[in-house]
Amino acid sequence: MGLSIVEKIIREHLVEGVMAAGEEIGIRIDRTLTQDATGTMACLQFEALEIPRVKTELSVSYVDHNTLQTGFENADDHRFLQSFASKYGMYFSKPGNGICHQVNLERFSTPGKTLVGSDSHTPTAGGAGMLAIGVGGLDVAAVMGGSPLYITMPEVVGVELHGELKPWVAAKDVILELLRRCTVKGGVGRAFEYCGDGVKSLSVPERATITNMGAELGATTSIFPSDEVTLDFLRREDRENDWRPLAADRDVKYDEIITIELDELEPLIAEPYSPDNVKSVSDLSGLKVDQVVIGACTNSSYTDLAMTSHILKRHGVHPDVSLHISPGSKQVLETLARHGELEGLFSGGARIGEPSCGGCIGMGAAPGTDTVSIRSFNRNWKGRSGTPDDRVYLASVETCVAAAIHGEIRDPRELGRYPQVQMPERFVINDSMILEPSREPERVKILRGPNIKPLPRREALPEEMSGTVLIKVGDNISTDTIMPAGAEILPLRSNIPAISKYVFHHVDPNFSKRAKENNGGFIIGGENYGQGSSREHAAIAPMYLGIKAVIAKSFARIHRTNLINFGILPLRFANPNDYETIEEGAEITLPRIRAQLEEEKTKRVVAMVDGRSIALTHEYTPRQIEILKSGGLLNYTKRRYAQG
Ligand code: MIC
Ligand code: SF4
């Protein structure tokens, strides 16, 4: 039977396990990507492994999230990351050079290579045929230290694209359509591989928009074939030598096939507060819009912004709208400047920010009270923008520009002639903000500011665990809810004692105080607990507060692994109805927990809840059980990989 692209790349990199869906496999990783908000922890963790130099073929450390320097913290982190990269053999992309996923796509993406990144949107690189997976920082640290990446072999879904998109309908609408059909948990345990005659009509940046938002489906990864279109993109980046063709075998048998007729799609929009809350733009026509933000790793490529410029030249921004633009990278900005499109953005009335994540992670551009903000981003969970009761809608750049011009949501097709923007023959190639590692690493001193605090560690798993249910939450709780970001909290990513005060802050500001008073305890969750970002702070900070286990109906992939990596037990209700029977304040005991986990075959754990017993399941692999027994991945990896 023929293989999919996902299977072909995995087969080339397989070092442990069998390539069958649901099985744990270990794959060799060629490259890593880290960003500043998760990178400082990854670096501290790598340091704790006591390995002198990264062992990957290429590791790049980016600064893109914490570029708002309202105090010393972020600037100190940048200096730390720069000195760390130089000493340990990583490339360093300076603040201002752009969003990790966009810069990676432009300067490093290589078909057929494996990439792990400490950011959930790492699969953006799948737009150029890379097998790219988002994980927590500790998993990246272990990979930089020479460990394979351990994942559950996903099922492979073939997304068959037919035809071509109509003018004003965008790649963003393709992924919004998938989110509408599959929901934010539809991709858990699955990889999305794009195929069909429609693939060739999409450019690499358009493909990257689609694979980027595969993260919102909860997918392990998303990938496009590597074809002439990929070669064409790499040529414009002066990297044609990085190309190799990649296609699924003709007789491939996908686990499921989803078909999308591109020419039947219409402009779509996700309403607050979930990326899968998708409607037709025309259904919302007339809704007053106060702010429009174009940018983020989903939609901030040269073609996105050049098209914006051409439309703004024709029609200016509505007087009541504030239009913010964050270019994805310095290359995008420089290319716009060289081709005269930057002028169109300014003269049309846009506010231009530096190339960074910016408003996407609440670092600026927070919307006003009771106002509507429409964004080309990928996430719209309540409060993520920095305004607690925000009303953020997600849409294509085309739909965003139409709203900026009209001051209300309008179908972009009403704007008339579509400006067909081509990519330039050559993008502006200027890697001056990407620094090479030092050739004399022993002379490099790591620069550590006062906000960088030592890593907290967890002891080995005790024989028995007991405590109180500190909080009970519902379905689809994102890591933004568990560990919020934004301008106030994000600068504390290197300081776990300080950031842990904000765990569940917007649900219960006293959560961290209560956790401390109770010496930790338990969390109860619904379906898809921990969806969204890869931030391991949503596990480290609860670990620091003494959380012992999270008992939920189901978990999102990255967060579940992060919990295990930090010695917190993710456990599932054997009978989901038991969720209803546990309230905040209940007393839970996990008797003989070490022994229970060792009874591997049953994969069951019995919990005593206020004296009654409840059956839980765990689905840990033998390796994960060892990690949990060691008190987390750091203790485990140190033992296993430090030598050699
Ligand atoms: C996000 O989009 O939520 C982030 C910020 O990029 C996160 C990483 C982080 O929290 O640092 C992600 O997507 O993994
Ligand atoms: Fe940055 Fe937003 Fe992309 Fe996360 S989703 S990497 S915060 S631009």
Alpha-carbon gap, residue 386 to 485, rounded angstroms: 8
The β-bridge partners of 604 are: 617
Structure token digits, residue 259 = 């078909």
> Residue 378: nearest ligand to its CA?
2
114 HSE (CA, 13 A, CB side): 25
Residue 185 has pLDDT above 70, yes or no: yes
- pLDDT at position 602 is 80
Residue nearest ligand 1's atom 11 by CA: 37
357 lines ligand 2 (CB under 6 A): yes
Residue 594 has pLDDT above 90, yes or no: yes
217 lines ligand 2 (CB under 6 A): no
pLDDT digits (tens, 9 = 90+) for 419-458: 989 999 999 999 999 999 999 999 999 999 999 999 999 9
- pLDDT at position 452 is 95
pLDDT digits (tens, 9 = 90+) for 537-592: 999 999 999 999 999 999 999 999 999 999 999 999 999 999 999 999 999 999 99
- Host H or E run for residue 213: none
The atom of ligand 2 lying closest to the CA of 379 is 5
Longest CA span, the chain: 71
pLDDT digits (tens, 9 = 90+) for 119-135: 999 999 999 999 999 99
Alpha-carbon gap, residue 209 to 173, rounded angstroms: 10
How many CB atoms are located within 10 Å of the residue 397 CB?
27
Rounded to the nearest 10 degrees, the angle between the axes of helix 622-630 and helix 633-641 is 110
- pLDDT at position 641 is 61
Residue nearest ligand 2's atom 1 by CA: 357
- pLDDT at position 600 is 67
Is the torsion defined by CA of 556, 557, 562, 565 positive or negative? positive
Alpha-carbon gap, residue 140 to 161, rounded angstroms: 33
Q: How many whole angstroms from 72 Cα to the centroid of ligand 2?
A: 22
Q: Which residues of 543-565 are buried (b: 16+ CB within 10 A; e: fewer)?
A: bbbbbbbbbbbbbbbbbbbbbbb
pLDDT digits (tens, 9 = 90+) for 2-50: 999 999 999 999 999 999 999 999 999 999 999 999 999 999 999 999 9
pLDDT digits (tens, 9 = 90+) for 295-315: 999 999 999 999 999 999 999
User: What residues contact residue 95 under an 8 Å CB cut-off, 6+ apart?
Assistant: 36, 63, 64, 67, 78, 356
121 lines ligand 2 (CB under 6 A): yes
Alpha-carbon gap, residue 15 to 480, rounded angstroms: 34
Domains within the chain, CATH numbers bracketed: 5-264 (3.30.499.10), 281-415 (3.30.499.10), 465-642 (3.20.19.10)
360 lines ligand 2 (CB under 6 A): yes
Q: How many whole angstroms from 141 Cα to the centroid of ligand 2?
A: 20
Q: What is the mean pLDDT of residues 371-398?
A: 98
- pLDDT at position 643 is 47
Q: How many whole angstroms from 357 Cα to the centroid of ligand 1?
A: 9
119 lines ligand 1 (CB under 6 A): yes
Work out the percent of the chain whose per-residue pLDDT is above 90: 97
63, 121, 381, best to mutate for ligand 1 pocket (most atoms within 8 Å of CB): 121
With 0.75 as the threshold, say if the pTM is over it: yes
Residue 642 has pLDDT above 60, yes or no: no
- pLDDT at position 533 is 97
Residue 78 has pLDDT above 50, yes or no: yes
Alpha-carbon gap, residue 75 to 71, rounded angstroms: 8
How far is CA 263 from its chain centroid? 29
Q: Between β-strands 612-617 and 569-573, what pairing exists: parallel, antiparallel or unpaired? A: antiparallel
Residue nearest ligand 2's atom 2 by CA: 360
pLDDT digits (tens, 9 = 90+) for 500-517: 999 999 999 999 999 999
Alpha-carbon gap, residue 417 to 412, rounded angstroms: 10
Assign 150 to helix, strand or coil.
Answer: strand
553 lines ligand 1 (CB under 6 A): no
Among the listed residues 327, 322, 404, the one whose alpha carbon sits nearest the alpha carbon of residue 366: 322
172 lines ligand 2 (CB under 6 A): no
- pLDDT at position 293 is 98
Residue 644 has pLDDT above 50, yes or no: no
534 lines ligand 1 (CB under 6 A): yes
- Say if residues 78 and 95 touch (Cβ distance below 8 Å): yes
How many CB atoms are located within 10 Å of the residue 26 CB?
16
Mean pLDDT of the residues in the chain: 97
Q: What is the mean pLDDT of residues 175-202?
A: 98
